Amino acid sequence: MRKLKRVGFGGDGGWAEAALSVQKTNGQKRDDEEAATKPKNRQRVLMLTSRGVTYRHRHLLGDLNSLLPHSRKDAKLDTKTKLQQLNELADLYNCNNVMFFEARKGKDLYLWLSKPPNGPTIKFHANNLHTMEELNFTGNCLKGSRPVLSFDAGFEKQAHTRVIKEVLTQQFGVPQTSRKVKPFVDHVMGFTLADNKVWIRCYQIAETETAKAAPSDPDTTDSAPTATVAKSGKGETNISLIEIGPRFVLTPIIILEGSFGGPVIYENKEFVSPNQIRSDLRRAKAGRHNRRAESMVERKAKRRDMGLNTGEGPREVNELDDQVLFA
């Protein structure tokens, strides 16, 4: 049987160190209990595209993936009709949000935002796409930092806009408990509702110390809008917003009750598909050509009736001519 060795604390200093260690242990246990009882925000986003996306669509997906540290990028989906397979992929990768980019005809891009397994699902048409590389903005932010989500007051006016706001919050809101997240908040994602469309912008929060020189005339200086904040122990700090990118516009089309299925709870009656717009333009162009061809035939017939063509006399009037029937 092994004997236990008795260890002393070595005077009053040892007892103080022991009491301090016990106090730290109790405080750590208390913090662990509070963290266990506090509900955790577990949000993970599965990001993937369909076949037929262009390079701009891929770059947009890469920009959003770099801005959202709680996202997981997956390979392209082979089908465009059986979107229910995305629910199985989300369950496989332990994701409770899906961001699916669907490309049509190599031109049009549709964005599906879903909340599997129960929904809802929102289908947007994405246009006016501008990636970080083509914008060349001077703003920058730390990779893995959390954004501040800024929503327009117009999202609270109607029921479907409130649903859109909640889905966007859960998709773009980076939880504090994510593994890849860093404890910094240095950029803002703005969502503005205008003309029944969602305009998305991303800005850097830039802090600069104010100079001690005399302030210049604000009417003569060309600078970004700033706000002055006084910090304890430091001087005043100017806070300004510098755009980072990307920027794009989302037009809501339909909202489904389930995840990639279920009844339609909202439909945008004012939305016209870009395919229909191109068809109308082609039809209008063909109509102009047809009108020119008809006018040319009428002009030739009129010259023949008047005997203006060389070697021909006036044409005999037929009872079935349009000029006789519809005179």
Question: In terms of CATH architecture, what is 45-212+225-271?
Answer: 3-Layer(aba) Sandwich (3.40)
Provide Rg for the chain, Cα atoms: 33
CA distance 177 to 81: 35
Q: Give me the long-range contacts of 39-43 (CB less than 8 A, separation at least 24).
A: 40/175, 40/177, 41/175, 41/176, 41/177, 42/96, 42/175, 42/177, 43/70, 43/96, 43/97, 43/170, 43/173, 43/174, 43/175, 43/178
CA distance 160 to 207: 37
Residue 287 pLDDT: 78
Q: What is the DSSP letter of 89?
A: H
CA distance 217 to 133: 35
Q: What is the DSSP letter of 317?
A: P
Closest CA to 184 of 148, 226, 233: 148
Residue 243 sits at φ, ψ, to 5 deg, of -70, 140
Strands (E), the chain: 45-49, 71-73, 97-104, 108-114, 121-130, 146-151, 185-194, 197-209, 226-230, 236-243, 247-256, 264-267
Instruction: Please give the model's pTM, rounded to 2 decimal places.
Output: 0.73
For 22-60, b/e burial (b = at least 16 CB within 10 A) is eeeeeeeeeeeeeeeeeeeeebbbbbbbbebbeeebebb
Residue 226 pLDDT: 66
Neighbours of 181 (CB within 10 A): 16
CA distance 96 to 87: 9
Q: With a cut of 70, list the residues of the chain below it in pLDDT.
A: 1-41, 211-235, 307, 310-316, 327
Provide the token pair at 222.
Answer: 């060309």
Closest CA to 106 of 274, 252, 286, 272: 274
Provide the token pair at 6.
Answer: 């008795």
> Which residues make beta-bridge pairs with 47?
73, 99
Residue 212 pLDDT: 52
